[in-house]
Amino acid sequence: MAVKLMIVDDSQFMRALLKKIVMAEYTVVGEATNGIEAVKMYEKLKPDIVTMDVVMPKMDGITATSHIVKRNPDAKVIMCTSVGQEEKIKKAIAAGAKGYVNKPFQGPKVLQEIKSVLTA
């Protein structure tokens, strides 16, 4: 059965780029543009895995992850952070994120992290 992936990023370009990276192996079931949308969309779609941007309008990715994981303790969320944001990675892990990838994205690393979180 196809693995359902949800992309959360306020940048249309970054969503398209991520989709291009993952589409050969995963089914992108939803795209959210901020944290509030992500929390609602997660409950509706129940994806197998989520890629979550950190800096977004309305609600940031760390807060959204915290909300999602509180309601769904098994939720698999991978944070997408810019290089040099180690503090944010620590906060995201504390909020329940299971992994992270650095921006700018490198396709193989993104796929490797998704696979590793899915099989953990």
The residues of the shown chain that bind another protein, judged by CB under 8 A, are: 10-14, 16-17, 20, 55, 57, 82-84, 103-107
- Beta carbon nearer to another protein, 10 or 63: 10
- Beta carbon nearer to another protein, 46 or 107: 107
Q: DSSP 3-state assignment of 30?
A: strand
- Beta carbon nearer to another protein, 17 or 50: 17
Question: 69: which DSSP letter?
Answer: H
Cα(62)–Cα(60) distance, rounded to whole angstroms? Answer: 6
The total number of residues written for the chain in this structure = 120
As given in the structure block, the two tokens for residue 109 are: 């690393």
Closest distance to another protein from the beta carbon of 119 (Å): 25
Closest distance to another protein from the beta carbon of 1 (Å): 27
